[in-house]
Amino acid sequence: MRRARGFTLIEIIAVLAIGVAALALISGMVFRGPSTSDLKAAARTLAAGLRQAQSTAMVTRRDASLTVDLDSREFWLPNETESHKLPAGLELKLFTAQSEAVSEKRGGIRFYPDGSSTGGRITVQSGERKFLVDVDWLTGRVAIND
């Protein structure tokens, strides 16, 4: 008797299992961390918070600042008790006036009643991808740059 040529069911299942394991490993390496849209959403959330702090300062005619905790990836607005959390996996960097730095991992950007600010930059980053949330010290204008 002559045996038919081809692969056995066990051989096919073994090859498929190896392929699935390789795909899972590769996709985990390529797609880990937040997406670009998550980064942009976090930058927009911070920009909205900064604009709200500026509006608060102008309406109440008192200084108002947005405070950022870099380790926990959260920020606080004036007159609010709850923090605003940003997605996990993001790296934040804060560049601000020395007078607004509470510690190496915590600081803020202050707005004045005339709309101006201490100025600064918050960088939202994941790997090589990043967005810069800039605050102009003279006008208090908030802009997102990539």
Query: Which pLDDT tens digit goes with each residue over 67-112?
Result: 999 999 999 998 888 999 998 889 999 999 999 999 999 999 999 9
User: Would the pLDDT of 32 be above 80?
Assistant: no
How many of the other CB atoms lie within 10 Å of CB of 78? 18
Query: Which pLDDT tens digit goes with each residue over 36-53?
Result: 888 999 999 999 999 999
- Strand pairing report for 142-145 and 129-135: antiparallel
Residue 142: φ, ψ to 5° = -105, 130
Hey, what domains does the chain have and what are their CATH numbers?
Answer: 36-145 (3.55.40.10)
Arithmetic mean of pLDDT, 116-129 = 93
Residue 121, pLDDT score: 97
Q: Which whole-number Å values give the CA distances from 133 to 5, 11, 89, 108, 119, in the listed order? A: 64, 55, 18, 13, 11
Residue 128, pLDDT score: 86
